[in-house]
């Protein structure tokens, strides 16, 4: 009798041990699989974003050295799907891929600006969205992201980017770049009006358009990705 009880206990312990090993292995496999999927998606979104950097749209109210592009769309989608860290990684990888395809023509000033402006948009947007994944939080996040990107863009252009571009273009005075703004908009006469009438609306329009497009396509894209990864 005692031997039978001991045998049953041994079997239960052994089966429990097997279950524990299986559960641990399953979690390990799922974690590794999830990591692989995230890395793959980050690379795909970054590659798409790098390509979109070459689709530039000139705007009538800004000088020709400012262009509108939609490279933040895949970056923001990645941020909403996988979090702000993945968003920053996608943003950084986007710049690296772009530089591999075509070396910098602005001594990395343009790439640095694109990275900083992109991060100032996608980080607050994704943080707010991840607090509660609802449409209301997505809209609020993108609105805050647009506002912060606009502020960062104004600050960086006034104190970093325009002086850097002036230096790169042969050490010309910053006023020469301001004059380019005056050509397209006579109301621009100094740095303040340049920032208010060119840089600020450019970033607001970019943030608004990217936000609207992501709002419209995010769910269909994520459903498609989930369906593909579920079967993989």
DSSP assignment of 83-106: -HHHHHHHHHHHHHHHHHHS--SS
For residues 96-134, b (16+ Cβ closer than 10 Å) or e, as one string?
A: ebbeeeeeeeeeebbbbbbbbbbbbbbbbbbbbbeeeee
Model pLDDT, residue 30: 47
Q: Which segments of the chain have a pLDDT < 70? A: 1-33, 231-232
Instruction: Domain ranges for the chain, please list them.
Output: 27-231
Residue 57 backbone dihedrals phi, psi, to 5 degrees: -115, 120
State pLDDT tens for residues 85-132. Answer: 999 999 999 999 999 998 988 888 889 999 999 999 999 999 999 999
pLDDT at res. 10: 58
**Predicted pLDDT at 29:** 45
Whole-number CA gyration radius for the chain: 25
pLDDT score recorded for residue 150: 98
Class of the CATH domain delimited by 27-231:
mainly alpha
Q: Measure the N-to-C terminal CA separation of the chain; round to a whole number of Å.
A: 51
What's the rounded Cα separation, in Å, for the pair 96 and 186? 38
pLDDT of residue 16: 63
Please tell me the predicted confidence (pLDDT) of residue 32: 54
């Amino acid at each position: 009798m005692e031997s039978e009880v001991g045998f049953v206990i041994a079997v239960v312990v052994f089966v429990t041990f097997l279950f524990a090993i299986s559960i641990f292995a399953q979690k390990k496999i799922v974690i590794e699989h999830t990591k692989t999927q995230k890395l793959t998606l980050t690379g795909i979104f970054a590659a798409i974003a790098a390509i979109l950097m070459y689709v530039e749209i000139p705007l009538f109210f800004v000088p020709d050295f400012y262009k509108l592009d939609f490279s933040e769309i895949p970056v923001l989608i990645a941020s909403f799907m996988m979090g702000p860290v993945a968003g920053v990684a996608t943003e950084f990888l986007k710049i690296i891929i772009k530089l591999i395809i075509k070396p910098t023509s602005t001594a990395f000033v343009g790439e640095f600006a694109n990275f900083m402006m992109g991060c100032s948009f996608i980080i607050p947007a994704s943080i707010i969205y991840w607090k509660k994944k609802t449409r209301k939080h997505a809209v609020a996040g993108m609105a805050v992201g647009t506002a912060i990107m606009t502020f960062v863009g104004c600050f960086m252009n006034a104190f970093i980017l325009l002086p850097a571009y002036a230096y790169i273009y042969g050490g010309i005075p910053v006023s020469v770049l301001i004059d380019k703004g005056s050509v397209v908009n006579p109301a621009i006469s100094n740095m303040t009006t340049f920032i208010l009438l060119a840089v600020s609306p450019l970033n607001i329009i970019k943030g608004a358009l990217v936000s609207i497009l992501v709002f419209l396509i995010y769910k269909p894209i994520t459903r498609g990705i989930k369906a593909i990864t579920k079967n993989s």
